[in-house]
Structure formats: structure tokens, C-alpha cells
Amino acid sequence: MTRNDKSGLIRDEMSDKIIDTAEELAVESGTEDLTVRKILRSLGITNRVFYNRFHNIGEVLEKVYEKTVLKARNCIMARSDAKKDFFENVYDLVSEIISMSYDSRKQMSSFVFETDSNETENRRWWTSEIKKMIDYAIDKNYIKKVDSDVLSHSIWCFCRGYNADVIAQNIPKEEAMANFRYSFSFVIEGLKK
């Protein structure tokens, strides 16, 4: 289905293909060298096809970022295994998010992390979701009473910082995940009643 957005640009299946291709190219070789020309060559399309849908590469990268954020957010939505206790579910959820973001951000790390730092809406969304889990745990008497606003922001910063550092150091994913679970266990243990 073809439609024009507020700026008169076309939003259709080709727009999605351009975004997907930009994401694939960015994952392969990073965002620093990603150009409109590389996307055009990869898709076999003309400048006109691209510029009827996007003003520049920055707009495409914004859409790639939004898509990356949405994937991570979808990990957290309604994820709970009734057979596991609350803390196991938290470990699994946080580990899955770190793992997914490790994969998708490996080559796009500087772009995504820099954008994350400047994107207050994404930080607010994540801290509010983390806060919901903390408030739930307090309500169920699983953890000590804590300032859930402060703690949710700290956990957000810990997870983002950890992920950025292991990617920058090129630590293998399996090692990074094992180290994360080990370190995060102390956060969880410190919260338990």
C-alpha cells in the first residue's frame, strides 16, 4: 500500500526495503560508511526511488534505530514463565534483551548508543518498564522497598553501559552474557528481602 506522509514522501513496501537494506548494510560494516549510493546499488534502484521516500541517509538511519528499539521493547512485553520464580524471569528477560541488542548493535553500536543517549523518549520508555517490574516486586514483597525511579534509571544505565563496553572491547557474546548474568546476580541478590 502506497501513501504519502506529512512531508509528501512516499511510504510503501519499497520504503521498508530501503530501511531493511540499510540495517543489513549497517550490521555488516557499520553506519559510518553507509551511503545512499550503497543502498541504491544493493537494491538496484535509482536516486529518484530513494529520494521520493527519504530526504537523506540520516532519515533512514532514524528508522533503523526505531526498528532496533522496537525489537528490544518487544522482548520485554508480556514475557514471563509461570514455572519460574520472579527472579529467574528477570534474569532471563534482561539476558535476552542484552543478547538481542548485542547482536543487532555489534556493527551499529556507536550510532545506536549515541542515538540512545540523545533520545529521551527511549530512555523514558525503558525506565518506566523497568520501574513497573520493580514496583511489582515491591508489591509482591519479593524485594526491599527502594526508590524505583532511581533504581530503574540505574539499571538502564548499567545495562546500556555494559553492552556498549563489551561490544567496544569485542568480547565474544557467550563470554559477555555469562559475565553479565554473574554481575547482574549481585544486583538482584542485593534487592531480595
> What is the rounded distance in angstroms from the CA atom of residue 67 to the CA atom of residue 111?
13
**Whole-model pTM?**
0.63
pLDDT of residue 104: 62
- Domains in the chain, ordered, with CATH? 3-55 (1.10.10), 64-191 (1.10.357.10)
Condensed to tens digits (0 to 9), the pLDDT of residues 33-46 reads 889 999 999 999 99
**Helical H segments across the chain, by residue range:** 13-29, 36-43, 47-51, 57-76, 86-105, 109-118, 120-139, 148-168, 173-191
Range 47-69 average pLDDT: 90
Q: Which of 100-104, 163-167, 186-190 has the least mean pLDDT?
A: 100-104
Contacts of 53 (CB under 8 A, 6+ apart): 9, 10, 11, 12, 14, 15, 18
Residue 2 vs residues 9, 20, 67, 122: alpha-carbon distances, Å: 10, 17, 20, 28
Read off the pLDDT of residues 70-128 as tens digits, 9 standing for 90 and up: 776 776 655 667 787 888 878 787 777 777 766 665 555 556 656 666 678 888 888 99
Is the confidence at residue 7, as pLDDT, over 60?
A: yes
What's the confidence (pLDDT) of residue 123?
84
pLDDT in tens, 114-152: 666 667 888 888 899 889 989 999 999 999 999 999 999
Closest CA to 53 of 66, 39, 42: 39
Q: In a 3-state reduction of DSSP, which class is residue 4?
A: strand
**Per-residue model confidence (pLDDT) at position 59:** 92
Backbone angles phi, psi at 29, to 5 degrees: -135, 15
Asked whether the predicted pLDDT for residue 15 surpasses 90, the reply is yes
